[in-house]
Amino acid sequence: MSILKDILSPIKLNRRTFLKSAAVTSSAVALSACTKETREELLQKDFRSMSKDEIAKVIQRLEEKYAKEYGKKFSVSAKETIPHTFFGYALDISRCIGCRRCVYACVEENNQTKEPQLHWIQVLEMEKELGIDLIHSNLYYDHEEVPYEGHFYLPVQCQQCKNPPCVKVCPVGATWTTSDGIVVVDYNWCIGCRYCMAACPYGARHYNWGKVKLDTETINPNTHYLGNRPRYKGAVEKCTFCIQRVREGRYPKCVEVCPVGARKFGNLLDEKSEIRYILENKRVIILKEELNTQPKFYYFYGT
Amino acid sequence: MNFIRFIKESFQIVIRGSKRYYLWLAFLLALIIWGSTGYIEQLKQGLLVTNMRDPISWAFYIGNFTFLVGVAAAAIMLVIPAYIYNWKPIKEVVIFGELLAISAVIMCILFIIVDVGNPLRLWHMIPLIGKLRLPSSLLAWDSIVLTLYFFLNLIVVSYLLNALFYKRDTNKHLLTPLILFSIPLAIGIHTVTAFLYNGIAGRPYWNSALLAPKFLASAFCSGPAVLIILFQILKKTTTFEIKDEAIWKIAELMAYAMFINLFFFFAEVFKEVYSDTEHLVHLEYLFKGMGENRDIVVYGWASLIISIIAFLLFLIPATRKNVVTLNMGAILIWLGVYIEKGIALLIPGFTPDSLGQIYIYRPSLTELKVSMGIFAIGFLIFTFITKIAIAIIFEDFSIDSLRRKKPSPAN
């Protein structure tokens, strides 16, 4: 015992002081090399641990940064949940014509990077004979006109699971479900390990592989901290039901833009809502129900 | 300051060597610099310089990580018979297995760091300072067991070498529990890494209860295979000695492990092929390809055929005891498991992706550069610590020999 004590105590002391000085010096060098903004960004706490004042400060910093970068006045909201709301979504498979207007409206509304293109909504073309069959579906269909003969369309985006595997696997708690039922990501806390992307059964999580490239002309400056504010290289993002809109009492952009009214959205706790009407009067299906993810995104046949 | 003296003297060992030694160091250094240029580019441009994309979001880096976790875990392969049954010929080389484990864990951690999109934010994973998500995230568990395993091996090895350097007896009451603890921990690092994949319900190719046992079986092959090759090289280039029976015994144990590995593989193939559900598609992609996309097929078959040949070479006593076929078998096993873990585990798991689409992945030059750099760092660390261990164990590098040379060690 005493031998080890003799041997280990000098290591401990030595290692500790060495590590300490190494850590202090290297972090001092690293921190002094970068600007105040990046320093604050680097040491920023995660969203859920921040006080209201801290959030306000971060938002001010972000608004200044975005304004400088994109030459536009930005508003970054941190608006909280509206009480007594739990959002749900329904998509009428019999109506969808596969025009992909939702895909591109979403890109503009939510400031997805353009290079390489990132889409939160993926529209799959399927053969009518096969039914909903992902393996034989085609994401890259390219016809002169849609709907294409003998085919139907299944748009897939975040299914806003009640039992989300992506939240379960995140090693740092950078993604969670808000009380109004939206699975969100803290883009400043995400380390970019992409475990959530492996875990998601719907391919709904997307990654900024390179620097985020946005058009200053078309950029949407009305943003939410947990939603469509410009993102970072090396962080994951996903559909948030347009949190910046729905928390203001508006519809998600995809619902608004759909030319055939295939997309329905509402408060599941409101008995008079359209979404409740659909759940009660139509027969809904959910994707990959065997995985017990319990989506709040329902598919139904309206006609 | 006994230990500091030991470190100082060891440093002298590390910086002195033959011309061949310096050439080897220069080669590794060149690779490290080459790799660093790749990593700097990746830091600037983001992971866009890799060929990973949303459909295949983990690839070559994580494949190498998985393989090396197996190598690191394999130290136990030697520890178990050596310490529990006190079988001398292996006991002498156990320490080299532990040195390999230390180097492998360092490489594992580096592969994780280069795969992460925001390495500066890794402090979020430090318990108490950041927000490590336990118990739900398997990646959080993996970071804990890997760190523990690294420090445990580091302590055991430095304690042992330090004691040998000062020609002191080791304290059995202290050392044995530590070594015994390293056995479940070695199984732990590989099991947790397997569970990391295994727990994902949305990826049927990994969602099999056989994955963790299969990981262990293949680690029991690949780790010792790396060691056997290293032992041969060390035997040729240094004063390192090992009894032939020790190597044969290790090879025999590897044959059993390979049999179990192959058996598990066939059990999985049977289940998928006979039940013929939509989950079969991943295995089909690996062994038949899909339409014109057949790039990966050669790796699927190569890994299987190579593993079977190696199994036979190690099973038959005559080929196991012949230096040429033994080394061939070791290289084949290493290659077989490397392909299995690096390519055949990850890529078919992601192809077709969760929406049934196909993305063809090949590692980019940057990915190859960065990976080579990491392997070079691992080899450099292994070279240094092995040189110290060889000097102490085989070349009478000790406090006594130093005193004989320099009468006044205090200068």
Residue B130 belongs to domain with CATH number: 1.20.1630.10
Angle formed by the axes of helices B211-237 and B60-73, to 10°? 70
Q: What pLDDT does B238 receive? A: 85
Q: Is A48 among the domain residues? A: no
Q: Domain range holding B32?
A: 9-405
For chain A, the C-alpha Rg in angstroms (whole number) is 23
User: Would you place residue A13 in the very low, low, confident or very high pLDDT band (cuts 50, 70, 90)?
Assistant: very low
**For position A186, which CATH number holds?**
3.30.70.20
B170 min Cα distance to partner chain A (Å): 8
CB contact under 8 A, A234 and B117: yes
Q: Is A47 among the domain residues? A: no
**Cα–Cα dist A3/A162, whole Å:** 56
Nearest to A297 by CA among A17, A21, A89: A89
Instruction: State the DSSP string of A16-29.
Output: HHHHHHHHHHHHHH
Q: Is A74 among the domain residues? A: no
**Cα–Cα dist B61/B50, whole Å:** 10
Least confident of A63-77, B5-19, B66-80, B183-197: B66-80
Count of structural domains, chain B: 1
Asked whether residue A119 falls in the same domain as residue A185, the answer is yes
Minimum CA–CA partner of A118 in chain B: B54
Residues of A in contact with B199 (CB under 8 A): 169
* pTM, two decimal places: 0.92
Q: Domain range holding A173?
A: 87-300
Asked whether residue A118 falls in the same domain as residue A14, the answer is no
Residue B214 clears pLDDT 50, i.e. is over it: yes
Asked whether residue A113 falls in the same domain as residue A178, the answer is yes
Q: What pLDDT does B70 receive? A: 93
Count of structural domains, chain A: 2
Residue A203, amino acid:
G
CB contact under 8 A, A199 and B202: yes
**Cα–Cα dist B172/B20, whole Å:** 38
Q: Is B14 among the domain residues? A: yes
Minimum CA–CA partner of B155 in chain A: A8
CB contact under 8 A, A201 and B3: no
Count of helices and strands (H, E) across chain A: 9, 12
B333 min Cα distance to partner chain A (Å): 29
Substitution target from A1, A2, A3, A133 for chain B, most B beta carbons within 10 A? A3
Residue A162 clears pLDDT 50, i.e. is over it: yes
Computed over every residue of chain B, the mean pLDDT equals: 91
Instruction: State the DSSP string of B31-70.
Output: HHHHHHHHHHHHHHH-GGGSS-BTTB-S-HHHHHHHHHHH
The pair of three-digit structure tokens given for residue A29, joined into one six-digit string: 């060098």
Q: Is B410 among the domain residues? A: no
**Cα–Cα dist B246/B91, whole Å:** 9
User: By the CB < 8 Å criterion, does B355 face chain A?
Assistant: yes
Residue A220, amino acid:
N
**Residue A300 and residue A90 in contact, taking contact as beta carbons nearer than 8 Å:** yes
Q: Is B354 among the domain residues? A: yes
**Cα–Cα dist B64/A119, whole Å:** 30
CA dihedral of residues B73, B74, B77, B82 (deg, nearest 10): -90
User: By the CB < 8 Å criterion, does B358 face chain A?
Assistant: no
Query: Highest mean pLDDT range out of A148-162, B153-167, B330-344?
Result: A148-162
Residue A115 clears pLDDT 90, i.e. is over it: no
Substitution target from B159, B347, B357 for chain A, most A beta carbons within 10 A? B357
Who among B3, B52, B356 is closest to A11 (CB)? Answer: B3
Which residues have C-beta within 8 Å of that of residue B85, sequence separation ≥ 6?
Answer: none
A291 min Cα distance to partner chain B (Å): 7
Q: What pLDDT does A10 receive? A: 42
CB contact under 8 A, B46 and A208: yes
Asked whether residue A122 falls in the same domain as residue A252, the answer is yes
Which residues have C-beta within 8 Å of that of residue B141, sequence separation ≥ 6?
Answer: B134, B135, B192, B195
Q: Is A275 among the domain residues? A: yes
pLDDT, average across residues B108-116: 97
Asked whether residue A268 falls in the same domain as residue A167, the answer is yes
On the CB side of B236, CA atoms within 13 Å amount to: 7
User: By the CB < 8 Å criterion, does B124 face chain A?
Assistant: yes
**Cα–Cα dist B132/B124, whole Å:** 7
Q: Is A81 among the domain residues? A: no
Least confident of A120-129, A164-173, B9-18: B9-18
Nearest to B114 by CA among A234, A59, A155, A102: A234
Q: What pLDDT does A26 receive? A: 63
Residues of B in contact with A208 (CB under 8 A): 46, 117
**Cα–Cα dist B167/B399, whole Å:** 8
Residues of B in contact with A4 (CB under 8 A): 159, 171, 174
- Better-predicted residue by pLDDT, B315 or A31: B315
**Cα–Cα dist B335/B302, whole Å:** 9
Q: Is A77 among the domain residues? A: no
Q: What pLDDT does A40 receive? A: 87
Q: Is A241 among the domain residues? A: yes
Q: Is B2 among the domain residues? A: no
Residue A244, amino acid:
Q
Who among A7, A136, A205 is closest to B162 (CB)? Answer: A7
CB contact under 8 A, B118 and A235: yes
**Cα–Cα dist A15/B79, whole Å:** 27
Asked whether residue A6 falls in the same domain as residue A115, the answer is no
CB contact under 8 A, B200 and A49: no
Q: What pLDDT does B2 receive? A: 81
∠ CA(A34), CA(A232), CA(A175), 5° rounding? 115
Asked whether residue A264 falls in the same domain as residue A147, the answer is yes
Least confident of A102-111, A116-125, A266-275, B249-258: B249-258
User: By the CB < 8 Å criterion, does B277 face chain A?
Assistant: no
**Residue B66 and residue B345 in contact, taking contact as beta carbons nearer than 8 Å:** yes
DSSP lists the bridge partners of residue A135 as: none
Substitution target from B159, B200, B206 for chain A, most A beta carbons within 10 A? B200
Asked whether residue A132 falls in the same domain as residue A247, the answer is yes
Residue A155, amino acid:
P
- Report the SS3 class of residue A158: coil
A116 min Cα distance to partner chain B (Å): 9
User: Would you place residue B148 in the very low, low, confident or very high pLDDT band (cuts 50, 70, 90)?
Assistant: very high
CA-CA-CA-CA torsion sign (A108, A112, A117, A123): negative
Nearest to A86 by CA among A227, A181, A184, A162: A181
**Cα–Cα dist B407/B400, whole Å:** 10
Substitution target from B54, B138, B166, B364 for chain A, most A beta carbons within 10 A? B54
CB contact under 8 A, A7 and B278: no
Residues of A in contact with B353 (CB under 8 A): 203
On the CB side of B244, CA atoms within 13 Å amount to: 6
Q: What pLDDT does B406 receive? A: 66
**Cα–Cα dist B12/B8, whole Å:** 7
User: By the CB < 8 Å criterion, does B117 face chain A?
Assistant: yes
The pair of three-digit structure tokens given for residue B9, joined into one six-digit string: 């003297």
**Cα–Cα dist B311/B304, whole Å:** 11
Burial class (CB in 10 A: 0-12, 13-18, 19+), B385: buried
Residue B303 clears pLDDT 90, i.e. is over it: yes
Other beta carbons within 10 angstroms of residue A37's beta carbon come to: 13
- Report the SS3 class of residue A200: coil
**Residue A109 and residue A220 in contact, taking contact as beta carbons nearer than 8 Å:** yes
Minimum CA–CA partner of A10 in chain B: B1
Nearest to B71 by CA among B110, B97, B109: B97
Residue A28 clears pLDDT 80, i.e. is over it: no
Residue A33 clears pLDDT 70, i.e. is over it: no
Nearest to B327 by CA among B216, B250, B214, B261: B250
Task: Write the pLDDT tens digit of every residue in B308-321.
Answer: 999 999 999 999 99
pLDDT, average across residues B172-198: 91
Burial class (CB in 10 A: 0-12, 13-18, 19+), A20: exposed
Q: What pLDDT does A131 receive? A: 96
Which residues have C-beta within 8 Å of that of residue B408, sequence separation ≥ 6?
Answer: none
Asked whether residue A3 falls in the same domain as residue A141, the answer is no
On the CB side of B139, CA atoms within 13 Å amount to: 30
**Residue B117 and residue A197 in contact, taking contact as beta carbons nearer than 8 Å:** no
**Residue A96 and residue A229 in contact, taking contact as beta carbons nearer than 8 Å:** no
Residues of A in contact with B174 (CB under 8 A): 1, 4
Q: Is B240 among the domain residues? A: yes
Task: Write the pLDDT tens digit of every residue in B252-265.
Answer: 889 999 999 999 99
Residue B167 clears pLDDT 50, i.e. is over it: yes
The pair of three-digit structure tokens given for residue A235, joined into one six-digit string: 């962080």
CB contact under 8 A, B54 and A136: no
Nearest to B202 by CA among A130, A165, A191, A211: A165
Q: Is A230 among the domain residues? A: yes
